[in-house]
Structure 1
Amino acid sequence: MENIKLEMRKLSGQDLFPMMKILAKVKVKDMILDFIKKRAEVAKKSQEALSVEDSEGTKEYTEEEKMEIGMELFADILNTTMCNLDLAKEDINLLLSSVCTVDVKDIRELGMLEYTNLVMEFFSKEELVDFFKCIASSNVFQSLR
């Protein structure tokens, strides 16, 4: 597979299932729970300094804050995932082969640079960024007041 540029298809809803399996294996769950706890503590400490309030006096996140939360979560997940990739190597290879529509053998045979570039390209896909923006604007984060 040397010198072959792999093209990734657009991510679909079905890609969510192997992604969640990978995130579980690379120990992202604990990091997300810590992130939620940290956000709750920060929100609680800054309750008096709220800039935007709804009729109940609780914080509503602005679009910029939602974007910042989503990007911070994405960066933390990316870092945690990269540090623990070996724990989900086969699942990652299967997901990459699916997204690139090639045999998993072709993914396994990639050189280090090509494989690294492919992983980084996957994490920079717009659909993945949108997924984390969606998480940031979900009720879980809205309840952190």
Structure 2
Amino acid sequence: MADKLTMRELNGGDIFTMLAILGKLDIKDEVVELLERQYGSGNTLPTLNDHKKKKATKAEQEAQEQAIELRGMRVLTDIGFAILRHVGDVKNDTNTFLADLTGVRRKEIEGLSMLAYTALLVDFAKKPELKDFFQSIASVLG
């Protein structure tokens, strides 16, 4: 089997698989703590549409947007490391999900080289649909 696999686009049914895997990770408390640390009281960012103040300059708007993006990247990185600490708990589920996304059997996923497996995980993490999924969750929380 060739080491480079391509993944199909994520769809609505995949949400349930991802939520089930996240649920088995048992990292809710860690994630809540991470989110509170970034978005909790006393740790707010200026809003882009604060009508009570003068209109922000383009440079101020760009700085605010960069700060918001940096905060989001920190949260996703922290969540990613929390997942990695517990990933052994969901190995079979993850491999089954990756097999479904790539159209191969789970045994083939498990037989990938470390480099190919890591590349597959990175490809999954970079999927635009995944980013949209987490942004949707964040918008509900924020």
In the alignment, the residues of structure 1 paired with residue 46 and residue 125 of structure 2 have an alpha-carbon distance, to the nearest angstrom, of 33
In the alignment, the residues of structure 1 paired with residue 74 and residue 135 of structure 2 have an alpha-carbon distance, to the nearest angstrom, of 10
Alignment-derived partner of residue 13 in structure 1: 12
Structure 2 alignment gaps of length 5 or more: 53-60
Q: 2:127 pairs with 125, 128, 131, which one?
A: 125
Alignment-derived partner of residue 24 in structure 1: 23
Task: List, as ranges, runs of 4+ consecutive aligned residues in structure 1 with deviation greater than 4 Å.
Answer: 49-55, 65-69
Shift of 1:113: 1.3
Alignment-derived partner of residue 42 in structure 2: 42
User: Residue 10 of structure 2 contacts residue 129 of structure 2 at CA under 8 Å; is this kept in 1?
Assistant: yes
Aligned residue pair count: 129
Letter in 1 for 2:20: K
In the alignment, the residues of structure 2 paired with residue 110 and residue 33 of structure 1 have an alpha-carbon distance, to the nearest angstrom, of 34
State the SS of the aligned residue for 2:131.
helix
User: Residue 25 of structure 1 contacts residue 88 of structure 1 at CA under 8 Å; is this kept in 2?
Assistant: yes
Q: Deviations over 1:28-81 (max 9, x none)?
A: 3122211233222334xx5xx9555479xxxxxx99366445433322221111
Structure 1 vs Structure 2 CA RMSD: 2.5
What is the TM-score normalised by the length of structure 2? 0.75
Task: List aligned pairs for 1:30-69, cutoff 5 A.
Answer: 30-38=29-37, 39-43=39-43, 52-53=49-50, 64=65, 67-69=69-71
User: Residue 99 of structure 2 contacts residue 105 of structure 2 at CA under 8 Å; is this kept in 1?
Assistant: yes
